[in-house]
Structure 1
Amino acid sequence: MTLIAIFFPFISFLLRGRILTGIICLILQITLIGWIPAAVWAVISLQNSRADRRNEKLIRAMRSK
């Protein structure tokens, strides 16, 4: 998924169900200069999403004890 976020940033957002964000990212990456910020944005967003899922899993584990 990280490679998709680097090479096709807008697809990374679309696959995670963030349609409006994916369209904005596509508009940004249309230009060659905008590709780098779009790729960075997609990778950071992917990492934040993974961290959120990990934190939710830890919270659920602590509540069940």
Structure 2
Amino acid sequence: MILICFIAPWLAMFLRGHIIQGILCIILHITLIGWIPATIWALVVTQRESAA
């Protein structure tokens, strides 16, 4: 799942069931500058749900 967060953060959001966050992640991922925040955001969401 961590690898998916680096390659396609929006896909990680969709796989976790966060559709609206996934769409926002796609918008961030389209821009080169937004790729890093989108990856960090996907990692945080993935780690938070894994811990719960």
User: What is the TM-score of this pair, normalised by structure 1?
Assistant: 0.77
Measured in 1, the distance between the counterparts of 2:16 and 2:46 equals: 9
Structure 1: gaps (5+ residues): 53-65
Of structures 1 and 2, the one with the larger relative CO (CA 8 A, separation 6+) is: 2
Bigger Rg over Cα = 1
**What percent of counterpart residues are identical?**
50
RMSD: 0.6
TM normalised by structure 2 equals 0.95
Residue segments in structure 2 that go unaligned for 5+ positions in a row: none
Give 1:18's aligned residue.
18
Query: Aligned pairs, how many?
Result: 52
Task: Name the structure 1 match of 2:38.
Answer: 38
Structure ranking higher in helix proportion:
1
Q: Residue type of the partner of 2:15?
A: L
